[in-house]
Structure 1
Amino acid sequence: LVVSRRGKDSASSVFALILETRGTHQSNCVFDALMNAYLDSGFVSDAFQCFRLIRKHNFRIPFHVCGCLLDKMLKLNSPAVAWEYFLEILDAGFPPKVYAFNVLMHKMCKEGKIEQAQMVFDEIGKRGLRPSVVSFNTLINGYCKSGNLEEGFRLKRDMEESRTWPDVYTFSVLINGLCKECRLDDANLLFDEMCERGLVPNFVTFTTLIDGQCKNGRIDLAMEIYQKMLGRGIKPDVITYNTLINGLCKVGDLKEARKLVDEMNMTGVKPDTITYTTLIDGCCKEGDLHSALEIRQGMIIQGIELDNVAFTALISGLCREGRNLDAEKMLRKMLDSGMKPDDATYTMVIDGFCKKGNVKMGFKLHKEMQSDDYVPSVVTYNALMNGLCKLGQMKNADMLLHAMI
């Protein structure tokens, strides 16, 4: 009742009031209840303040409530405050648990505070505990995400020396780090080491390796890894397929990419927007607009919406084939879908009309751009000026040039 009346930031005054009215006798359970009341009301900082006051006045520490407060703090996005509190309750005699250290490390790594995460890790040993596989993995993942692979591998060695054996997650994280740094041969060696140790790679491990090979244009090796994956009886998911399809489209192998889409449908993996968008983009870049429009039609039938990339690819393909009216219609559909074409997309359509001598339509789209708060680039103005010059409208071109300046 006192807590609800006094509200937030009242811990000090309420604590003083209790001391004044009850003295120091038989107050332990009262302060336990007070700390709990603040916690139940969601006043975490007041509960923390209560703990400090209890400790300062040498009352019995309510470790059960302290544990509840720690759990609450770990769920909040303030790992630095939670760490400060955790150290204080540990110093007061709270029994340490590896789980709490792991959660704090995870939150700190998520915020990119890798040095603080390392401090938390080091504290595990200082408190007489042994870091678990999760402890090592959390910090290894943090180092790899921050681009410090050397520290990640150092921790792997420390892990092995302490006879805490790396698991599939450990290897997958390090393989991912190597792939991001384009150290694909090292990633393959680490993968082999993982298999030699009797660990079974999961679809995440395989997909990471496949993605690394695809991003570096080594699609043949990516397909080899994919076959190994199938050989081990590991079912690819939509991300694995999309990664391969993207890699194949980038090297212009649309036939193999479409085969994989058929395989997806046969194995019960439903293609998503990314799958179809990747194919549409690939077809347009290879000049196969007919196939791209067919894929779009299939998406409409399945109720799959086009995204920005798909619309932009189709508009680009239509412009390339001189189908300016169709490109403009596609631009309208894109706008009707609630998407915002970028400056380059508008410019493509404007340029298409200007090249065909329809400068009037080009200026109409230019005006639309400006009314929608776009700032047309030099490329947009160049397209319009070229169109005017082709029509011999040099005076208008000169006026446009001055308007640009």
Structure 2
Amino acid sequence: MNTLFHKIINNPYTKSTLLTKKTQPHLLNHFTTAAQPPLPPPHTAPPSSSEEDKTAATITTICKSFPNNLNWKTLNQNLKFINLTDQNVIKKVLIHLKDPPNAKKALSFFHWSSHYTNIMHPTHTYALLIHILVNAKLIKDANALIESVLRRSVACNRSSVELFIQDLVSSYEVTSLGSSFVFDLLIQMCAKLRMIDEAIDVCFYLSEHGFRLSIISYNTLLYVIQKSDKPKLVWRVYEHMIENRTYPNEKSVGIMVTALCKEGKLHTFVDMVDRIDGKRCSPRVIVNACLVFGMIEDGRVEDGLVLLKRMFVKNMILDTVSCSLIVYGKIKLGKLESALEVYEEMLKRGFKANSFVHTSFIRAYCEAGKIESGDELFKDMECVGLQPYDETYTHMIAGCSKFGKLEESLNFCEKMVQNGFVPSCLAFNEVVERVNGFVSVRRADEMLTVLLDKGFVPDVNTYSHLIAGYGREGDVEGVLKLYYEMEYRKLSPGSSVFTWLIVSLYQAGRLEESEKYLRTMKARSLAPLDYTCYTLISRYESQ
């Protein structure tokens, strides 16, 4: 730009009274200035040292005011010209007072500043002060602040608790004065306030960020959950506890045993572990086996086997129980060949065969329609001295019924009763639903009578299937007998029962009774099935 200007003004053909030697320097200055880059805008300029000095002086004045134990009225008078609406200043004061001897002063400043400015401190300020108090062993004061934040969050929403834990973690990482004990206090306070869902969320958040809770915090949370109306969550916390390498103690196991009792499952899992190991095991083994078994049943087989491996390494579960659950997990994944290999290896190492594993294989065979293989394994159990139990019989009964082996199904049912077991209502219904022929129906009915004496509780479907069986055979007395029994047991008959009742009476020539039950059916707002109308019309036309 300057070179171009000199060429212009030194050109002899350029004549202007304005471009004189006196004006040349002045114009050059203008062009030089125009060629320079613009100055940065005012707001991007760094703060002046005077502003920093002013802030530092403010912090020093505040910090010096608190050691004198002045009351709030005097503090208000002495510090009336100080602006404390800036949370950054408040944070710097707290950090200045972070050492344990000054922790009480930091707490006093926290409360005074809230009163003086008439503002509610944000959660990150609470988080910073809580770390200072815990570092100074002022646990009671820290707990009071944690409770204050949590109670305030109840009035707001669940996300405020998430924000609070994020602020606590952030303060821990930034200030380098925090203690992980803060997070134990938070969990214990959530448990005290019955904030179960929030406490569980905090547990998972902390583990994701590399923090481990104490066994006391986990036990406190486990105890509160098993006392609540959400007892199933106790297993989620117990699982997370082991995954996070905080291993249960005697108190933890006791809480879990109580949870099993509350769910009505303790006897079931005690029997399961007894069948595997052949003798009564410790409560710890029973609880841990229950956890892994539940994970496998829920379809989380891989997670369950990973947790099982950790338990085995820590000697939290027996070898026999561990191997049996591995076999069971592979069976649930549909890997029968792999499961058989594991089981054979288990036997080669000196482990004894057990009825739990045999029953697991029988279940898999029956569900796949391999009834012969299941029956063969059932006989092998008896040969090697293993006692089939209720589930073993149930799987054979259901499998035989489902794949058309009704005679074998009834045989297993009778054998089950002879050995002191009672089939489940669901299993027995599988049998009676598919009975066909007078002999099979009568045999199933007699079996029902025997089961009722042993405490079996039938449902509507049990009677409906048997009534349908008698109806197909034209046995009106059998239909009436079961109908009266349903009424006695206060089981409400459905359309199917009334259909067979009306049709059977009509076919037997007992028209008045048939019409009576037809009116009863309509009075109960039950629509007649198509089969009822078809049978009645066909009978009428044939006459």
TM-score range, shorter chain: 0.5 to 0.7
Q: CA deviation at 1:282?
A: 0.8
| Preserved CA contact (<8 Å) 1:179 1:187 | yes
1:160 maps to what in 2?
347
Does the Cα contact within 8 Å between 1:210 and 1:225 map onto a contact in 2?
A: yes
* Higher RCO (CA 8 Å, separation ≥ 6 residues): 1
What is the SS of the residue equivalent to 1:201?
coil
1:334 deviation in Å? 4.9
Q: 1:199 aligns with which of 386, 394, 398?
A: 386
For 2:399, the equivalent position in structure 1 comes to 212
Structure 2 contact 502–517 (Cα < 8 Å) conserved: yes
Q: Residue 17 and residue 256 in structure 1: after superposition, are their counterparts in 2 closer, same or farther (change >3 A)?
A: closer
Kindly tell me the number of residue pairs found equivalent between the two proteins: 346
Superposed, which structure 2 residues align to 1:77-92 within 5 Å?
86-87=242-243, 89-90=244-245
Task: Compute the displacement of 1:121 (Å).
Answer: 4.2
Matches within 5 A, 1:308-327: 309-314=496-501, 317=504
Report the counterpart of residue 435 of structure 2 in structure 1: 249
CA positional deviation for 1:186: 1.7
Residues 97-149 of structure 1: CA deviation (Å, up to 9, x unaligned): 87776455444433334444444445555667666555555555555456554
Q: Where does the alignment leave 5 or more consecutive residues of structure 1 unmatched?
A: 359-405
Counterpart among 228, 234, 255 of residue 420 in structure 2: 234
Aligned residue identity for 1:13:
F
Q: 1:268 to 1:19 in 2, by over 3 A?
A: closer
Whether the aligned pair in 1 keeps the contact of 2:359 and 2:392 (CA below 8 Å) is yes
Q: Match for residue 75 of structure 1?
A: 232
| Residues 242 and 274, structure 1, Cα contact 8 Å, conserved in 2 | no
The correspondence of residues 42-121 of structure 1 with structure 2, limited to 5 A, is 42=196, 43=198, 44-52=200-208, 55=211, 61-66=213-218, 75-76=232-233, 86-87=242-243, 89-90=244-245, 94=247, 102=289, 105-121=292-308
Given the superposition, is the C-alpha separation of residues 243 and 18 from structure 1 closer, same or farther in structure 2, using an over 3 Å criterion? closer
* In structure 1, C-alpha distance between the alignment counterparts of 2:334 and 2:498, rounded to whole Å: 35
The percent of aligned pairs where both chains have the same amino acid is 21
Q: Which amino acid aligns with 1:48?
A: F
Question: C-alpha separation between the residues in 2 aligned to 1:139 and 1:322?
Answer: 63
2:402 touches 2:430 (CA, 8 Å); kept in 1? no
TM superposition score normalised by structure 1: 0.64
- Which residue of 2 is the match for residue 184 of structure 1? 371
Summarize deviations over 1:316-352 as a string: whole Å, max 9, x none: 65677798997776566456557x65xxx53334435
Q: Shift of the alpha carbon at 1:284? A: 0.8
Displacement of 1:289: 2.9
Alignment match, 1:36: 188
Partner of 1:348: 531
Distance across 2 between alignment mates of 1:161 and 1:202:
25
Alpha-carbon distance, 1:25 to partner = 4.7
DSSP 3-state at the match of 2:395: helix
Q: CA deviation at 1:32?
A: 1.8
Structure 2 unaligned blocks of 5 or more: 1-146, 250-283
Q: Partners in 1 of 2:533 and 2:447 — Cα distance?
A: 36
> Paired residue for 2:99?
none
Structure 2: how far apart are the matches of 1:47 and 1:106?
A: 23
| Greater shift in the superposed pair: 251-260 or 348-357 | 348-357
For residues 158 and 124 of structure 1, what CA distance do their matches in structure 2 show? 20
Q: TM-score when scaled to structure 2? A: 0.50
